Amino acid sequence: MDEISTGLDSSTTFQMLNSLRQTTHILNGTTLISLLQPAPETYDLFDDVILLSDGLIVYQGPRENVLEFFESLGFKCPERKGVADFLQELTSRKDQEQYWACRDQPYSFVSAKEFSEAFQSFHIGRKLGDELVVLFEKSKSHPSALSTEKYGVSKKELLKACISREFLLMKRNSFFYIFKFTQLILLASITMTTFLRTEMHRNTTTDGGIYLGALFFVIIIIMFNGFSELAMTIMKLPVFYKQRDLLFYPPWAYAIPTWILKIPITFVEIAIWTTVTYYGIGFDPNIGSFFKQYLILVLASQMSSGLFRMMGALGRNLIVASTFDNVKPWWIWGYWVSPLMYVQNAVSVNEFLGNSWRHIPPNSTESLGVTLLKSRGFFPEARWYWIGGSLRQYYQKRPFLKEMPTKLGNVIDLSTIGKSSSERGKDRKRNSSAEASSLRIPSLGDANQNKRGMVLPFQPLSITFEDIRYSVDMPQEMKAQGIPEDRLDLLKGCQWCFQARSPNSFNGRYCEQTDIHSPHVTVYESLVYSAWLRLSPDVDSETRKMFIEEVMELVELNPLREALVGLPGVDGLSTEQRKRLTIAVELVANPSIIFMDEPTSGLDARAAAIVMRAVRNTVDTGRTVVCTIHQPSIDIFDAFDELFLLKRGGEEIYVGSSRPPCLPSNQLAQEALLTDNFTDIYKNSELYRKNKAFIKELSDPPPGSKDLYFPTRYSQSFTQFMACLWKQHLSYWRNPSYNAVRLLFTTIIALMFGTIFWKLGSKRKSKLDIFNAMGSMYAAVLFIGVQNAMSVQPVVDIERTVFYRERAAEMYSALPYAFAQVMIEIPYTLVQALIYGVIVYSMIGFEWTIIKFFWYIFFMFFTLLYMTFYGMMNVAITPNQGIASLVSSAFYAIWNLFSGFIIPRTRVPIWWRWYFWACPFSWTLYGLIASQYGDLEDKLEGDETVKDFVRNYFGFRHDYVGICAVVVVGMSVLFAFTFAFSIRAFNFQRR
């Protein structure tokens, strides 16, 4: 068990460990536990102690003999020092000397290796060595004492357990599947009414093209329907890796249930879609064709879901199938390996070889269906439907392909999570320069002799609490007392004893227990950002920098000034360093009073001492600090000046100085929680009456004093905007996983599309050439645009968490922050559009004129921009990234349908034509096609010009290009403002 007491008070920890001890003894078992800051009473519950340092066993044996071993080497635990804290610090080069007891002999540092060698000669070590050299006799041990199998149960039971667990997860996540079914029914209804059979004809190849567009849209829907598996798979990976490493089950037992249980859902989803759309659209009425389409879509859905699960975040780009006749020789291999090609060919053959397409049009010797298939480059033979069954190979191999990455390694390195224990050795070496020669926390007497002055003055204040009430499950009364300035006070025994809603109103600051900061800025930049927003505008730049330097020195952050903050438990600062940064971020606001919620939670004794030293240094400047702390060591307890001791329900049992001799700190907490009569004793005491009088004295303002007054709640709006923009610039520049990857992705896709559609832009001899050119533009909108919308969501989601914390601290208002995040996307999107536009425009061979090139870059830039803002908007209006992805995918499908590529505007039913004008994709394609082809007089078949074809078939007019430009700009502005006001209006925090 690893660090099971984190966040618990001393009494709860003691009771829990005592129960584990009794269980272990009764069952004659073995329990191995690591703890942070164990109280002496908790430490005494253990039978044996294992002390590790630098990968070596320094001591392993009975708890009663550990002090004897170190005393034999000249080190003695002080009388009021906890043994666990003593052992923690003894192997540290910075702390070891203070425990040297042989004053008549010179001290020299004893390394972990020397301790380990000395232990081998100690009587406990010799006894342990003698026991280890004795050969193990199986006859003296129970056959079941050691496991003989890698996994606890048979393969059949493993599979049953994993299926049961996966089914339970699906039941608990029923909202997701209900939402998907509802979304699918809605999309099917929209598709059916768009391609309504009364509006569909089978007279010409143009009519067949509309049916082909409907089939293509069906495939797109099925593909996007599997996209939601991506986020779900990634969210479950950390749990899988942990359970796999602990030998809960093998990877195949995890992968197969996911596949099996999704099969019934796939059958239901495709049944819903096919039932609603097949006869409503007017596909071939043969019942055999109906079931054949149903089967191929089931296989396609399973293939899509499987690919997204297997590929994770890297599997977002399934290349749209192109016509075989126009695929360049260097991309033929991609055509043949694309599963999408087989799906599209199979559903097309199934439809166009049906009875309703067998009539022969005038001036032709082949049926209309065969003519259409050949004109679009599909294989017209019936066997290609069954060749589409090759999807079964993807379908059958998918769970095993998914198993491969789970065997190869962890996507999330869990060894870095929970750094508080595993990274101690590394952090000590990396930050040794930040530590003083001793971790002794200054006490009250030291503080009075070491007052610190700072460049920015502040007004020392007193704060009093009286008749304060708080509630956890039901209201409870809590009364608190007064705190004069220049005091460090301890609130003990109650986890939620105080929460400041607006500390700024009394020039105070609140340090949360969770240390939330932007991950891609440095320590120094975090402080500059906080000071920029929170110090008075009267403070000049040089004074502000000097003050920041003083604060960094105060909390000992100078050695870390250039270190990136990083994500908690993943990279960047350790837990202890993040807590010091949290304190510093609030200190640069120059407060008079600071509230801290469990600043030592999740830290070992050594790290907690470092944090408390920073807190004590803060008190030495004359500020008042109020803390809640669980399980303080004696050193930490002695650092406090005043003690608020609370029992459950918020009742006081002691409020006063922590200086007089009293029971050890942890025993105080245990007595408070386990005894009921201390409350009455305290309320009847002289101390209680003195505290009441003291509150009255502090509550009356001294003569001549003035009320605190702040003219504004925040800095000026422009200052807020510039500060937020500065931080966003740093964050984006240092986030290659977002910006570098999307630019690389854009370059790869541009080269891919450029080589696939090589010089097709200069071909204007047939309608198919125009379709291919439009396909290149449509593909860019679909893949690059959707990629932008999806990739920005995790970035915005992470920053939104930071935003909640910073807004609660009143660093800025919502709108300047939102507009700064909007603004920072513009230059990166412009670079992305230029990279894509220059590569694709030159390789496809569109007409080289300044105005046409400008329009191409213009429409690509604003398309990528409004898609990015759309992704940001979806995060702002939804509680998490998973729901944002689900909502987004529904709109991608609808926008694809009404983009003008799948079905031209002239063929959209009148009742849906309004949505064509509301669809962002349609305006992009309108502008791109009209600007490139809307003014060309080149002749196509039948003496029809390119200009006339574009106008008659698509409904695009060249003189509407300016209107399209205004609309795509308007879409960007609309999504940006919706994001900004949604960030302001919605708060999805659960606090």
User: What does the mean pLDDT of the chain come to?
Assistant: 78
Least confident stretch, 493-502, 554-563, 816-825:
493-502
Contact 761, 933 (CB under 8 A): no
Q: Write out 152-164 in H/E/C secondary structure.
A: CCCHHHHHHHHHH
pLDDT band at 198 (very low <50, low <70, confident <90, very high): low
Please, how many CA atoms are within 13 Å of residue 340, restricted to the half-sphere of its CB?
A: 22
pLDDT at position 13 is 85
Contact 329, 336 (CB under 8 A): no
pLDDT at position 444 is 44
pLDDT tens digits for 772-783?
Answer: 888 888 888 878
Q: Measure the CA–CA gap between 302 and 718, rounded to whole angstroms.
A: 52
pLDDT at position 494 is 37
Q: 652 or 510: whose pLDDT is higher?
A: 652
pLDDT higher than threshold 90 for residue 982: yes
pLDDT tens digits for 534-548?
Answer: 888 888 888 889 989
Q: How much is the average pLDDT of 589-604?
A: 81
pLDDT at position 207 is 80
pLDDT higher than threshold 90 for residue 434: no
Domains (ranges, CATH) in the chain? 201-413 (no CATH), 438-701+711-718 (3.40.50.300)
Q: 851 or 506: whose pLDDT is higher?
A: 851
* Cβ neighbour number for residue 703 with a 10 Å cutoff: 5
pLDDT band at 465 (very low <50, low <70, confident <90, very high): low
Render 119-181 in DSSP notation, one character per residue.
HHHSHHHHHHHHHHHSPP-GGGS-TTSS--SSSSS-HHHHHHHHHHHHHHHHHHTHHHHHHHH
pLDDT tens digits for 926-978?
Answer: 999 999 888 888 887 767 888 888 888 888 899 999 999 999 999 999 999 99
Cα–Cα nearest to 586, from 810, 355, 287, 849: 810
* Cβ neighbour number for residue 663 with a 10 Å cutoff: 10
Q: How much is the average pLDDT of 758-768?
A: 79
Range from 28-32, 126-130, 543-547, 867-871 that averages highest in pLDDT: 867-871
pLDDT tens digits for 148-180?
Answer: 778 888 888 999 999 999 899 888 888 888 888
Matching residue, tokens 């399980």? 631
DSSP-derived secondary structure letter, 782 = I
pLDDT tens digits for 177-191?
Answer: 888 888 889 888 988
pLDDT tens digits for 339-378?
Answer: 777 788 888 888 888 888 888 888 777 888 888 888 777 8
pLDDT at position 312 is 45
pLDDT tens digits for 58-84?
Answer: 999 999 999 999 999 999 998 878 888
Cα–Cα nearest to 302, from 172, 396, 425, 443: 396
Q: Measure the CA–CA gap between 229 and 177, rounded to whole angstroms.
A: 11
Q: How far is CA 344 from CA 187, 778, 810, in A?
A: 20, 17, 55
Cα-based torsion angle of the residue sequence 696, 702, 708, 709 in order, rounded to the nearest 10 degrees: 130
Q: 31 or 680: whose pLDDT is higher?
A: 31
pLDDT band at 104 (very low <50, low <70, confident <90, very high): confident
pLDDT at position 518 is 86
pLDDT at position 708 is 64
Range from 587-596, 661-670, 706-715 that averages highest in pLDDT: 587-596
pLDDT tens digits for 288-306?
Answer: 888 988 888 888 888 777 7
pLDDT at position 318 is 28
pLDDT at position 391 is 54
H-run or E-run covering 746: helix 739-756
Q: Measure the CA–CA gap between 529 and 546, rounded to whole angstroms.
A: 14
For residue 991, the SS3 value is coil
Least confident stretch, 141-145, 531-535, 750-754:
141-145
Q: Measure the CA–CA gap between 767 and 764, rounded to whole angstroms.
A: 8
Render 281-328 in DSSP notation, one character per residue.
HT----HHHHHHHHHHHHHHHHHHHHHHHHHGGG----PPP--GGG--
pLDDT at position 827 is 95
pLDDT at position 747 is 92
pTM given for the model: 0.74
pLDDT higher than threshold 60 for residue 503: no
